Amino acid sequence: MLIKNTIPLLILATLFLSSCRRSANTEVSSLLLPDKTARLEWFREAKFGLFIHWGPYSQLAGGWAGRQVPVGENAEWIMQKLEIPRDTYHTLARQFNPTLFDAEAWAQLAQDAGMKYLVITAKHHDGFAMYHSEASPYNITDYTPFGRDPLQELAAACRKRGIRFGLYYSHREDWDEPHAYGNTWDFDFDPPDSMELFEQRYLNTKAKPQVEELLANFDSLAIIWFDRGLYTPQQAQEFIDLIRIRQPWCLINGRVGSYEQELLGDFQNMNDNGMPPGGIEEYWETPQTLNETWGYSRYDQKWKSTPEVIEKLVAVASRGGNYLLNVGPTGEGVIPGESVKVLKQVGRWMQHNSESIYGATGSPFLDIPWGYCTVKGRALYLHVFHPPGDGVLALEGLTTVANTAYLLMNPKKRLPFTQNGPVLRIELPSVLPDTINTVIVAELAGPPEVLPPLSPADSNGVFRLGHYTARTFGSAVKRFNRKGKFHISKWAAPQDSACWHFEVEQPRDFELSITYAAQADWVGQPYILQSDGQVIEAQVVETGDWYDYQTFVLDTISFREPGRKKLTIHPAAELSGYLMYLKSVEMRPVE
């Protein structure tokens, strides 16, 4: 049993937590827990997972009492969107009886698709537990004629196939609880008006007890996947500590904490169906769905095609992330046929090409007109979605010598190539073996080294230097925030820097401005910008909220000679916090 195995850890971790809680970001001692890199090793390797949204809302199929949730909106939110009274929803929940549910079939589908992990809703915002909960009678085992625990069955089926099993839990929002967030049609309560009631009558009585029993009843959880974010770092840290103590290898996603403040958790989630342009330098995952809803809707038939899904999977992998693809089973417990068809077709592609996905790291190249690139060690996997008309695959910027090139589906099929300076050209076969995405492997003499990308000027000659084309050094990293923006952060010393390369066509003066957000206690921190022998010193100015980006004009910078230039920014001193959340530096020509 899990409890027997974790008693010594519980004692040690509890003693540690009681003695060293100094801030909201305090973590359990590294002496007691695996470090973050070790925890995330399987996640980095897996790349592809199945997300499942399933609950009493599934039997409503997007409609109730002659009304429907519009296509394009989330059918699993039907209780809130149609303001179904709590008592009425209880009556509907009592009828939930998914007799066609087959855990073995669901797990087998995930395996057939090439997915390495699975996350399913243990409790969504409607407050209904999809497992046997002792903390609340409002659960599928005690409250419905189904009378079984489908999540235990699914966990066992996943374990049998080597698929890691994770649970989604809505910890802030619960429309069944008078003192949680979200139900404004039955209850006159908003947690910020009384955080004490929110914590005492919801977090402490339902949310935390349910997370505790999930940790106790499901062995070796891969992930607890939180949603909607809590109000304070302290509230989030309490959930983090529960997991760290009871299942130290269990991953925690970034939505555990406040969306308005510093990101917590082991990895970050993009916005729903979000796709970053690239360049995120932390572990991340994008949750996307096969149609436009997450829970089942009979009205939503806007299914993604197999080529679309394969391209999204490859795009995410090429940008260093994980792809968590959602299906919404019916109220009877059946995954829709269109979802099954697409996933099985994706699986057939993965049978031949998974080497280019599992364990791959992001592309060192930015935009590639014919497709994408993933990397493993000395191998480049070149994903050809749009074959060049001349039949020659050109890869610009590569300075590492290429040794050989071949088809991943047929390694014996060597492809002719030339390499002149930083340009590799590979001759494609006249007929590509895959009509969706043929993968070419280029084996190099060493790890790929690539020339710094050039940041282009727009039609008005303005250079906008953002996270995408930046190169970072030291502790500076490119990050995402839950408002859907990207920035550079985590820099706190002069050796932590970001730089950009660009081409100046003629001698010119530029007005230099900077766009960033900063916490109040970062105000006054010094930083330096350098380019072409010029040094501009400045201090961080107040911007408002954490992610309230503001633009400030700094100075004029002059280039007396045309040619390739570099601009660098870094803290001017050792700092106690981060320098700023840098969105961009802009250079505008002075007329």
Residues 373-421 have pLDDT tens digits of 999 999 999 999 999 999 999 999 999 999 999 999 999 999 999 999 9
Contact of 131 with 151, CB cutoff 8 Å: yes
- Kindly indicate the confidence band of residue 32, based on its pLDDT and cuts at 50, 70 and 90: low
Instruction: Please report where in the chains the tokens 């308005």 appear, as a residue.
Output: 260
Residue 525 structure tokens: 């921190």
Tell me the sheet residues that pair with 465.
585
Residue 457 has phi, psi (to 5 degrees) of -90, 155
Query: Which of 181-189's residues contact partners 24+ apart within 8 Å by CB, and which partners?
Result: 181/228, 182/80, 182/125, 183/80, 183/86, 185/83, 185/85, 186/85, 186/86
Q: What is the pLDDT of residue 209?
A: 99
Residue 27 has pLDDT above 90, yes or no: no
Q: What is the pLDDT of residue 34?
A: 85
- Tell which CATH classification among 3.90.850.10, 3.40.190.10, 3.30.160.340, 2.60.40.1180 matches the domain 371-444: 2.60.40.1180
Residue 415 is inside which H or E element, if any?
A: none
Instruction: Please report where in the chains the tokens 């069944």 appear, as a residue.
Output: 176
Residue 44 neighbours by CB distance under 10 Å? 16
The rounded distance, in Å, linking the Cα atoms of 133 and 570 is 51
- Kindly indicate the confidence band of residue 21, based on its pLDDT and cuts at 50, 70 and 90: very low
Q: Per-domain residue ranges for the chain?
A: 29-352, 371-444, 463-589
Amino acid at 512: L
- Kindly indicate the confidence band of residue 30, based on its pLDDT and cuts at 50, 70 and 90: very low
Residue 103 is inside which H or E element, if any?
A: helix 103-113
Q: What is the pLDDT of residue 100?
A: 99
Contact of 374 with 318, CB cutoff 8 Å: yes
The rounded distance, in Å, linking the Cα atoms of 209 and 207 is 6
- Kindly indicate the confidence band of residue 299, based on its pLDDT and cuts at 50, 70 and 90: very high
Q: Where are the alpha helices (DSSP H) in 354-493?
A: none
Residue whose C-alpha is closest to residue 227's, from 215, 219, 239, 217: 239
Q: What is the pLDDT of residue 485?
A: 87
Q: What is the pLDDT of residue 134?
A: 98
Q: What is the pLDDT of residue 67?
A: 98
Instruction: Please report where in the chains the tokens 């925690």 appear, as a residue.
Output: 252
User: Under DSSP, is residue 490 helix (H, G, I), strand (E, B) or coil?
Assistant: coil
The rounded distance, in Å, linking the Cα atoms of 561 and 546 is 39
Residue range 255-298, pLDDT digits in tens: 999 877 778 899 999 999 999 888 799 999 999 999 999 999 99
29-352 belongs to which CATH class? alpha beta
> What are the CA-CA distances from residue 167 to residues 93, 170, 210, 579 (Å)?
20, 10, 12, 36
- Kindly indicate the confidence band of residue 22, based on its pLDDT and cuts at 50, 70 and 90: very low
Q: What is the pLDDT of residue 237?
A: 96
Most confident of 25-29, 93-97, 482-486: 93-97
Contact of 565 with 502, CB cutoff 8 Å: yes
Residue 99 has pLDDT above 80, yes or no: yes
Classify residue 571 by burial, with Cβ atoms within 10 Å: 0-12, 13-18, 19+. Answer: buried
User: Under DSSP, is residue 375 helix (H, G, I), strand (E, B) or coil?
Assistant: strand
Residue whose C-alpha is closest to residue 541's, from 530, 549, 529: 549
Residue 22 has phi, psi (to 5 degrees) of -110, -25
Q: What is the pLDDT of residue 591?
A: 85
463-589 belongs to which CATH class? mainly beta
Residue whose C-alpha is closest to residue 290's, from 362, 251, 345, 252: 345
- Kindly indicate the confidence band of residue 3, based on its pLDDT and cuts at 50, 70 and 90: very low
Contact of 574 with 558, CB cutoff 8 Å: no
Contact of 374 with 319, CB cutoff 8 Å: no
Q: Work out the angle between the directed axes of helices 337-353 and 103-113 (0-180°, nearest 10).
A: 40
The rounded distance, in Å, linking the Cα atoms of 176 and 79 is 10
Average pLDDT over residues 228-240: 95
Average pLDDT over residues 99-109: 99
Residue 230 has pLDDT above 90, yes or no: yes
Average pLDDT over residues 356-369: 96
Residue range 126-152, pLDDT digits in tens: 999 999 999 999 999 999 999 999 999
Rg (CA), the chain: 26
Average pLDDT over residues 314-330: 98
The rounded distance, in Å, linking the Cα atoms of 304 and 289 is 9
Residue 418 structure tokens: 């030339």
> What are the CA-CA distances from residue 312 to residues 321, 478, 574 (Å)?
11, 21, 41
Of 47-56, 82-91, 242-251, 475-484, the least confident: 475-484
pTM: 0.93
Q: What is the pLDDT of residue 23?
A: 38
Residue 227 structure tokens: 């949603």
Q: Is the dihedral of CA 28, 29, 32, 36 positive or negative?
A: positive
